Amino acid sequence: MRSVHGALAAPLFQTSLVAAVIGFGVYFDDASARAQEPEKLAEAVQSALEHKAASPQVRGFAQWVLATHDNAGQPFIVVDKAQARVYAFGPLGQLRATAPVILGAARADDSVPPATPAGRFTKDSIQQPGAGGMAWSREGVQLLVHPLPAFVAAGDELQLLGSPGLEARRTSEGTIHVAAGFWREHIDPLRSAASIAYVLPEAQQVEAVATPATTPHARQRETHIAQSSTRRLS
């Protein structure tokens, strides 16, 4: 009986060893594939931004967000004040859309009207302006985004969104205005989820925004909130 068991044990051991090796191979291949996904995503985002003629500042900033995971798994927008445009990104950093915006009249980065404040803003869960607006905040400074009416009289702000002149799109008291269609598809859905708004400065260096602005504990909290509230937005 011992010889029979010995005869059976050798093939069984060899079979188990082969299965284990194959299993490890599949595991490491899968891990390698997952490790490559961020690189592929970063390349896709950069390609999409180039296709949309995004500025080098926007492309570099999006690359920084993806590399550092500063958005903590939350959808986010990037406002390029120098070009008067907004870019909407998904939770993984995928580019969803871009559109022109109307900004504050003053070329400054502080929170004094009529300037649009620059910085990293998280969703303001306490003070929201109602169904017709969206608010993010940082250190007591609030960033407001509002939709323009679907139909306005000739000469009003909706026409200014299509103006090739950047100065024509700098008429507000600091609030950001976007077209109604862009609002419905890419801003209004963020009202039910955690999100971040980045406003790139025009009087300061972009590095002033590309700096982690939260403690590790706060970042973990952002990640937890994002995981529980943005699944349907991915």
Residue 143's domain comprises 53-233
* Distance from C-alpha of 226 to C-alpha of 18, rounded to nearest angstrom: 41
Structure tokens at 62: 């999006």
Residues 32, 76, single domain; the answer is no
Predicted confidence at residue 21, as pLDDT, reads 37
Residues 107, 125, single domain; the answer is yes
Of residues 168, 145, 173, 150, the one with CA closest to residue 84: 168
Catalogue the long-range contacts made by 34-41 (C-beta closer than 8 Å, 24 or more residues apart): 38/66, 41/66, 41/92, 41/93, 41/94
* Distance from C-alpha of 83 to C-alpha of 55, rounded to nearest angstrom: 8
Task: Write down the pTM of the prediction.
Answer: 0.74
Quickly count helices (H) and strands (E) in the chain: 5, 10
pLDDT digit string, tens, across residues 21-69 = 334 343 343 344 344 487 888 999 999 999 999 999 999 999 999 999 9
What is the pLDDT confidence band of residue 199, given thresholds at 50, 70 and 90? very high
Residues 45, 62, single domain; the answer is no
Residues 178, 149, single domain; the answer is yes
Residues 178, 130, single domain; the answer is yes
Name the residue with higher pLDDT: 61 or 192: 61
Residues 94, 178, single domain; the answer is yes
Residues 120, 146, single domain; the answer is yes
For every residue of 68-100, DSSP letters joined together read: HTTTTT--EEEEETTTTEEEEE-TT--EEEEEE
Of residues 30, 23, 82, the one with CA closest to residue 58: 82
Structure tokens at 234: 């991915």
Q: How many domains does the chain have?
A: 2
CA distances from 43 to 36, 37, 50, 68, 99 (A): 11, 10, 11, 15, 21
Residues 87, 157, single domain; the answer is yes
Domain boundary among 30, 51, 72: 51
Beta bridge partners of 172: 104
Domain with residue 69: its CATH number is: 2.40.440.10
pLDDT digit string, tens, across residues 55-109 = 999 999 999 999 999 999 999 999 999 999 999 999 999 999 999 999 999 999 9
83, 165 Cβ separation under 8 angstroms: no
Residues 212, 141, single domain; the answer is yes
Predicted confidence at residue 198, as pLDDT, reads 97
Domain boundary among 51, 76, 93: 51
pLDDT digit string, tens, across residues 129-149 = 877 899 999 988 999 999 987
Burial (CB < 10 A; 0-12, 13-18, 19+), residue 154, is exposed
Residues 120, 213, single domain; the answer is yes
Residues 76, 177, single domain; the answer is yes
Phi, psi (5° rounding) for residue 98?
A: -140, 155
Of residues 151, 146, 125, the one with CA closest to residue 134: 146
Domain boundary among 51, 67, 85: 51
pLDDT digit string, tens, across residues 148-174 = 875 444 445 556 677 777 888 888 999
Residues 30, 119, single domain; the answer is no
